[in-house]
Amino acid sequence: MDAGLLHYEDIELGRAITLGSRTVTAEEIIGFARLYDPQPFHLDEEAARATPLGGLAASGWHTAALMMRLYVDGLLAGMASMGSPGIEQLDWFAPVRPGDTLTGTFTAVGKRVSKSRPEMGLLSIVIHLDNQHGTRVLEMRATALCATREWAA
């Protein structure tokens, strides 16, 4: 494993790491929806106005994919990642609209070295996406697996 990568020991508990920002377009919202979530409020502005969302909004799965891209680009690509056993919680709090700029934040809220595999650290993480108004649109709680420096040596 590349010694220049961040390892388990480098991740500080409670330290918020900004993952970057991304502005969402109507074209992206509609394109994602056509492929993966073809509901009226994701596909057509006029039809979306007649729904409880009151206008075009990104699919929650699109929002989650945007979060993942910010996570990879902003942190994960520079970590000695060993994958993830899954997520514990994924919440969508507010619709993502065309023109919204989403900013991601990563925080490790717990960590421990695996008893059975000491080369692996387990990180309890929270990732938030907030829009340009400071409104939380997504929160994910998950476990990330990260190599320890001992294993990388």
pLDDT of 152 above 60:
no
d(CA 125, CA 134): 20
Using 50, 70 and 90 to split pLDDT, how confident is the model at 3?
low
Q: What 8-state DSSP symbol labels residue 133?
A: T
Residues in the chain: 153
d(CA 109, CA 15): 9
For residue 23, the number of C-alpha atoms closer than 13 Å in the C-beta half-sphere is 2
pTM of the model: 0.94
pLDDT in tens, 38-96: 999 999 999 999 999 999 999 999 999 999 999 999 999 999 999 999 999 999 999 99
d(CA 14, CA 33): 35
Using 50, 70 and 90 to split pLDDT, how confident is the model at 4?
confident
Residue with tokens 């060993």: 82
**CB neighbour class for 130 (10 Å; exposed up to 12, middle 13-18, buried from 19):** buried
